[in-house]
Amino acid sequence: MRTAKITRSTAETDISVEINLDGTGVYDNQTGVGFFDHMLDQLARHALIDMKISAKGDLHIDDHHTVEDTGIALGQALAEALGDKRGIRRYGECHLAMDDAQVRCALDLSARPFLICNLEIPTQKIGTFDTELVREFFQAFSTHGGITLHIDRLHGFNSHHIVEAAFKAVARALRSAVETDPRKSDAIPSTKGTL
Ligand SMILES: [Mn+2]
């Protein structure tokens, strides 16, 4: 089974992440940051990854440490669950439309972390959520998951739609990338022989 459980405790956050890459998108995500939970739910649902996340962070300061550290732990869980990446498709892409927003994600489970995140979110807040934390999350997820992750906004003027489209696009791209390729299910998808 391609599963992982990560627990991560620092002076700023206590985080537990459980995932199953071969799940059905069942989720229970509770970080204390409402909008962020809503986005993590999208990630699980549309990647068809079962995801249980519990985060207790220093929200009396702001949401930064909780969002960033959840990205770290989720990235670590993804890397662990993927193992040697034998048989996976490796690449994923998605153009996702949500009302006014269209976001494109292209990713490679390359073990070479790199983030391009051009969302140009028009407001600083969505409810109480600081929109600059979207990049912080994807940076942490990319770095610790070993993901080359490109996310670009093509259209959109509503911040909630843009960010939600981004999470859904990443989810759909991730769903493809972690899937087993039945034409080559026994091989590591690299001419180097390792990823
Ligand atoms: Mn929404």
The phi, psi pair for 50, rounded to 5°, reads -70, 135
For the entire predicted model, the pTM comes to 0.98
pLDDT for res 1: 86
* Contact predicate 65/12, CB 8 Å: yes
- Tell me the pLDDT of the chain (195 aa) as tens digits: 899 999 999 999 999 999 999 999 999 999 999 999 999 999 999 999 999 999 999 999 999 999 999 999 999 999 999 999 999 999 999 999 999 999 999 999 999 999 999 999 999 999 999 999 999 999 999 999 999 999 999 999 999 999 999 999 999 999 999 999 999 988 999 999 999
Give the type of residue at 143: T
pLDDT for res 145: 98
Pairing of strands 101-108, 148-155: antiparallel
pLDDT for res 133: 98
Q: Class of 3-178 per CATH?
A: alpha beta
pLDDT for res 94: 98
User: What spacing in Å lies between the alpha carbon of 182 and ligand 1's midpoint?
Assistant: 34
Q: SS3 breakdown of the chain: % helix, strand, coil, rounded to 5?
A: 35, 30, 35
User: What spacing in Å lies between the alpha carbon of 94 and ligand 1's midpoint?
Assistant: 19
User: What spacing in Å lies between the alpha carbon of 163 and ligand 1's midpoint?
Assistant: 9
Q: How many CA atoms lie within 13 A of 72 on its CB side?
A: 14
Token pair 């909008």 is found at 35
pLDDT for res 139: 98
pLDDT for res 3: 98
The phi, psi pair for 59, rounded to 5°, reads -70, -15
pLDDT for res 72: 98
Quote the tokens at residue 45.
Answer: 């649902």
User: What spacing in Å lies between the alpha carbon of 12 and ligand 1's midpoint?
Assistant: 28
